[in-house]
Amino acid sequence: MHLVKWIRKNMGKLMAVFVIVIMIAFIMPSLLNELAKPSYRDQNSAMYTYGDGLTINRVDLQNASVQLQALRGLMIDRLLPALGDVRSVLLGQLLFPESENAAMVSDELKNAAMQSGLRINPSVVDEFFKQSRGRAELFFVLLRYEAEKAGCAVTGDTAGNILKSVIPQLTNNQVDAATLVRNLSASTNMSDEQILKSFADILAIMSYSRVVTDTENLTMAQLENTFARMNERMDVNLVEFAAEDFVDKAPQPSEAEVIGMFEKFKNNTPGVTSDENPVGFGYKLPPRVAIDYMMIKVSDLKKNVAPPTEEEVEEFYRQNLERPPITEEVPEDPNDPNSKTIKKQKSYAEVADMIKKGLHTRKINAQGTKILSEAMEQTDSAFESIDFEKASVETLKAKAGDYAGVAENISKQYNIKVYNGRTSLLTAADFQSDLNLGRLVIAGQSRMPTRLIKLIFAVKELGDEATKMGPFEPTAPKMFVSAGPLTDMAGDIIAIVRVVDAAKSAAPDSVDFSYVKNLPNIGEPNLAKDKFVLKDEVIKDCKKLAAAQIADKAANEFLGLVKNQNWDAALAKLNSEYGKKNADPNEKTFKMQSMDSLKRVSAMDIEQTKMRVAGMMGAESIIDQSLLYAKLVDTFYNEFEQMQAKNQQPPVLIDFDPKLTLYVVESFDVGSPGTQEEFDSIRLRLALQEDFIDAQSAAFGFYMPDNITARVNLKEVVQPKAADANDTNDANGAK
């Protein structure tokens, strides 16, 4: 009886021991097999060469590993990211990689880059994490070498003094630096001096990184230009004459005009402007994919999933007393939001309804995930014996299960409607415009979920046009292999999908190209058009061109009117002659508009936009819109400066071809770019700000793993094959 009680009491420990024994039994055969193999590399033989004939052997890496272990004991892995400097964060991730925190660090770096205006794009952050996995000891040796070679050294005494200041802060005064170093010395067999030397090496690396990245190469002209752009603003009052407002007055184009328009721009990407094509006409088809899908509406699931019982709600409350939303931190003084915070526990009655709803939602989502996970198992079961790296698309297609059949079976089994279908080859814009597919996301390691659109356009069949998945996002899907479950952002839909076809960008065969989209119909109104007809788009563009001529005529007539009469009377006449007849009589087609606080966009601003959106879905459109805005603002500023030089005054007519729009300007109001006194008062802050951005941006290049190995000319030493173990020729050659 006592034995039974003892077993029950220690069940957790017994299970842990049991699992460990099972793991040992599982790995022991392969481990013994590895140990039985002859070793052709002794502890002191070179594994790498670097620098000027230097080598790294297994002992060097083992020593570096022990040093990094000691540095973890000193909590340097916590200190580096806490410094709030990108260089320190990157160094910490290189030397103390934490797989469970890496995704969070990646997200924070991307956010910091966006908020601080760093000159990097998210793909650079992704590339850093892809390259930095699993080589901490090697990078420690190489970075230490670079710092020493550059003459960046820190003494053990200096390192010790810094630790005396830092350790109490990191431990809330629970332990002092001397005690911590002594304890580490005993556990690592390192002397106190060796431990301090290891920390001194970290400080030396940090010092060297500052030397390299703090370029401080700003000129006074750059600062003056930055200051002027910060203060320069323009307000413009105008009447807009957009070709789109005159399309209803344009004639229908002839068949010859439509074909001619198509042939002229069929190889152009829509929206991409150039000197030859300032408007950005284009009919080249972007990359497209087709998918199979299964969807379940959460509202349907809710009918089949019972709400949690009172006992379940009470149990959740008891088990989570110290967690939000049951316990929250609130100001000690309710009337003073800045007073220190205290923990306040809510009563069961206060949170019972909230807990009940949350548990019910959790059960509903779990049931939906279970149903569609089972569907994935059925559709993908034949892939278990497949080598995905070698399997052709034809093989995957032959092995893929029937989505329609599985959906029907699952529907009957769980008494739930499973919507399924196959789309046509669709563009990213087609998917984005769909109310259902456009909102789907899939979770990865990152806090930010990945959109369906990015996922399905990552298939390798799209070649260089495929989207690039980050290291903490789901892997790029294989053709005919299911992905999911996915959910929509509102929590209304759960789905799985698979890509069944993909096409790279290409010019359409003829102007008669069209396709039915076959978008999901799940009983909700969908505003997306279900058919694309290229000819309709070409006709619209032809009519726009014709309408632009009418807009030009109307704008010139209006300019003549405002030179001879007041603007209100001229607008009334303009609307009576050219206004849309079927519009709301209170809503005028043409009216005075204000464009306020217009700022010039520099080439650097455009480059920063390109870097920030690189790799994002719709990046090209964002960049094109930024360029268009920059051109428009420059056009206004250039016109104003020319009029100033000629002592002219508005009204003036401005023709802006990229938008097929004309503007009749009533007034320009340009603010002062600032005085010399104002510049002098802010110059130092501007310089520090620009230096900070440059240095933090340069940190990624400095700590990028491939750049580190390239700088020191790292090469792996080739070892002889087993068959040539007795052949010493070229045994120590480097590849």
Question: Given the DSSP bridges, would you call strands 288-297 and 419-422 parallel, antiparallel or unpaired?
Answer: antiparallel
> The pTM is what?
0.74
- Find out whether 116 and 681 touch, Cβ atoms under 8 Å: no
Find the helix or strand (DSSP H, E) in which 54 lies.
Answer: strand 54-57
The pLDDT value recorded for residue 99 is 63
pLDDT over threshold 90, residue 333: no
Which has the closest alpha carbon to 427: 453, 446, 407? Answer: 453
Of the listed ranges 144-153, 162-171, 472-481, 681-690, the least confidently predicted one is 681-690
In the DSSP assignment, the letter for residue 713 is T
The pLDDT value recorded for residue 614 is 62
In the DSSP assignment, the letter for residue 508 is -
- Find out whether 506 and 284 touch, Cβ atoms under 8 Å: yes
Residue type at 345?
Answer: Q
Q: Which ranges of 646-719 would DSSP assign to H, the alpha helix?
A: 676-703, 705-711
Residue 246 token pair = 């005159």
pLDDT over threshold 60, residue 104: yes
Q: Which ranges of 565-618 would DSSP assign to H, the alpha helix?
A: 567-578, 603-613
**Environment class of 650 (CB within 10 Å of its CB; exposed 0-12, middle 13-18, buried 19+):** middle
pLDDT over threshold 60, residue 31: no
pLDDT over threshold 70, residue 728: no
In the DSSP assignment, the letter for residue 565 is S
Average pLDDT over residues 626-652: 91
Question: Given the DSSP bridges, would you call strands 661-670 and 234-242 parallel, antiparallel or unpaired?
Answer: antiparallel
Return left, alpha or beta for 237; rule: phi > 0 is left, psi -120 to 50 is alpha, else beta: beta
Tell me the CB-side half-sphere exposure of residue 283, using CA atoms within 13 A: 28
Span 351-376, pLDDT tens digits: 999 999 999 999 999 999 999 999 99
- Find out whether 316 and 324 touch, Cβ atoms under 8 Å: no
Secondary structure tally for the chain: helices H, strands E? 26, 17
The pLDDT value recorded for residue 617 is 60
Span 373-393, pLDDT tens digits: 999 999 999 998 888 888 999
- Find out whether 630 and 601 touch, Cβ atoms under 8 Å: yes
* Distance between CA atoms of residues 401 and 422, nearest Å: 14
Q: Provide the edge-to-edge strand list for the sheet that holds 652-656.
A: 592-598, 234-242, 661-670, 652-656
Residue type at 259?
Answer: I
* Distance between CA atoms of residues 520 and 295, nearest Å: 9
Q: In this prediction, what percent of the chain has a pLDDT beyond 70?
A: 83
Residue type at 510?
Answer: S
Of the listed ranges 209-218, 363-372, 501-510, 643-652, the least confidently predicted one is 209-218
Residue type at 142?
Answer: L
pLDDT over threshold 70, residue 725: no
pLDDT over threshold 70, residue 85: yes
- Find out whether 109 and 125 touch, Cβ atoms under 8 Å: yes
17-18-20-22 Cα dihedral, nearest 10 degrees: 160
* Distance between CA atoms of residues 694 and 214, nearest Å: 8
Question: Given the DSSP bridges, would you call strands 715-716 and 46-50 parallel, antiparallel or unpaired?
Answer: antiparallel
Tell me the CB-side half-sphere exposure of residue 466, using CA atoms within 13 A: 18
Average pLDDT over residues 702-728: 77
The pLDDT value recorded for residue 6 is 45
The residue written with tokens 């951005």 in the block is 693
With bands split at pLDDT 50, 70 and 90, how would you rate the model's confidence at 405?
A: very high
Classify 50 as helix, strand or coil.
Answer: strand
Q: Which is higher by pLDDT, 345 or 542?
A: 542
* Distance between CA atoms of residues 527 and 535, nearest Å: 21
Of the listed ranges 193-197, 215-219, 272-276, the least confidently predicted one is 215-219
Residue 567 token pair = 């603007």
Q: Provide the edge-to-edge strand list for the sheet that holds 715-716.
A: 54-57, 46-50, 715-716
Span 293-328, pLDDT tens digits: 999 999 999 988 999 999 999 999 889 888 888 888
pLDDT over threshold 50, residue 716: yes
**Environment class of 735 (CB within 10 Å of its CB; exposed 0-12, middle 13-18, buried 19+):** exposed
Q: Which is higher by pLDDT, 113 or 139?
A: 139
With bands split at pLDDT 50, 70 and 90, how would you rate the model's confidence at 187?
A: confident
Count the neighbouring beta carbons within 10 Å of the beta carbon of residue 733.
12
* Distance between CA atoms of residues 140 and 154, nearest Å: 16
The pLDDT value recorded for residue 627 is 86
* Distance between CA atoms of residues 382 and 380, nearest Å: 6
Considering the chain, what is the average pLDDT of its residues?
84
**DSSP E strands, 203-340:** 234-242, 288-297, 327-331
